[in-house]
């Protein structure tokens, strides 16, 4: 397969996204994760069963609630079905160990890096 074909480019983008998430996770392990209060609050609210991890269902619910709140605040439309589908797909990229749950570290690594 030609790496410049549409399929090759899509696979390349996917592998780069996975590499970026993995790098963020490893960097966080090496340097200690420093989650914001917002991230900590989201994780705590999403962990409905108290097992210190988020299932796909919990993760999607957290992201939907946050997205709705942001859309209302910024007076924008919110397509719940589209966001839920997108976040369900994203869950797999952040589940580094593949156990079907996001640890706190994996969840925090799912946020874009911010300048300090």
By C-alpha distance, which of 48, 47, 26, 61 is closest to 102?
Answer: 47
Domains of the chain plus CATH, in order, are 6-109 (1.10.238.10)
The DSSP letter of residue 77 is -
Identify any residues that bridge with 54 across adjacent strands, giving them in sequence order.
102
Instruction: Indicate if the pLDDT at residue 9 is higher than 50.
Output: no
pLDDT tens string 48-106: 999 999 999 999 999 999 999 999 999 999 999 999 999 999 999 999 899 999 999 89
d(CA 99, CA 51): 14
Q: What is the predicted pLDDT for the residue at 24? A: 59
């Amino acid at each position: 397969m030609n790496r410049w074909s549409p399929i090759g480019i899509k696979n390349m983008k996917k592998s780069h996204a996975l590499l970026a998430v993995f790098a963020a996770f490893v960097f966080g392990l090496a340097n200690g994760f420093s989650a914001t209060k917002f991230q900590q609050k989201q994780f705590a609210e999403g962990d409905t069963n108290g097992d210190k991890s988020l299932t796909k269902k919990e993760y999607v619910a957290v992201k939907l609630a946050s997205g709705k709140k942001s859309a209302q605040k910024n007076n924008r439309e919110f397509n719940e079905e589209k966001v839920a589908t997108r976040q369900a797909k994203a869950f797999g990229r952040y589940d580094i160990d593949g156990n079907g749950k996001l640890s706190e570290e994996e969840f925090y690594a799912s946020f874009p890096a911010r300048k300090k």
